[in-house]
Amino acid sequence: MPNIYDFSAETITGEQQPLSAFKGQAMLIVNVASACGLTPHYEGLQSLYSEYKDQGFTVLGFPCNQFGAQEPGSHEEIKSFCETKFGVSFPMFAKIDVNGDQAHPLYKFLKNEKKGNEGDDIEWNFAKFLINKEGEVVERFHPKVEPKDIKPSINSLL
């Protein structure tokens, strides 16, 4: 049976990153976009990362352009936007699809592990998956759930 550590993804700077590099850490995996009404979630995600990174927690951001074409930029543009506008320092990955036939294998796995309110598919930008330190998907949060509201769940894993 596959687990989160069986997957790898291309980083926003073009290297392959096995998720096994995050073994032993709790993770929040989020599909992100730069031109969305929920884009301010970046600030909350960075805040969570800053607060908990020394306790074995990380945020992994996966840009996606499938929802209203709200992530049209190049990897370099996305990286610059996130760092400049929101001070993002958590790991960012290359743009991927999260739904459909071309969905990244990681997202096929995540959606299979935790269904959303509307079934398998990711509802919109900023859907959030919480992974425990053993690599198990423990919760899925609707895109509109504010990052600060996930703190109790993160605390329970650390």
Among this protein's residues, is 64 annotated catalytic? Answer: no
Encoded tokens for 4? 């989160």
Measured over the CA atoms of residue 84, residue 130, residue 29 and residue 103, the dihedral's sign is: negative
* Residue of 36, 59, 64, 92 marked active site: 36
Measured CA to CA in angstroms, residue 106 lies from 10, 47, 72, 82, 111 at distances of 12, 25, 21, 22, 9
Encoded tokens for 82? 């996130």
Measured CA to CA in angstroms, residue 128 lies from 35, 80, 102, 138 at distances of 18, 22, 20, 11
Active site residues: 36
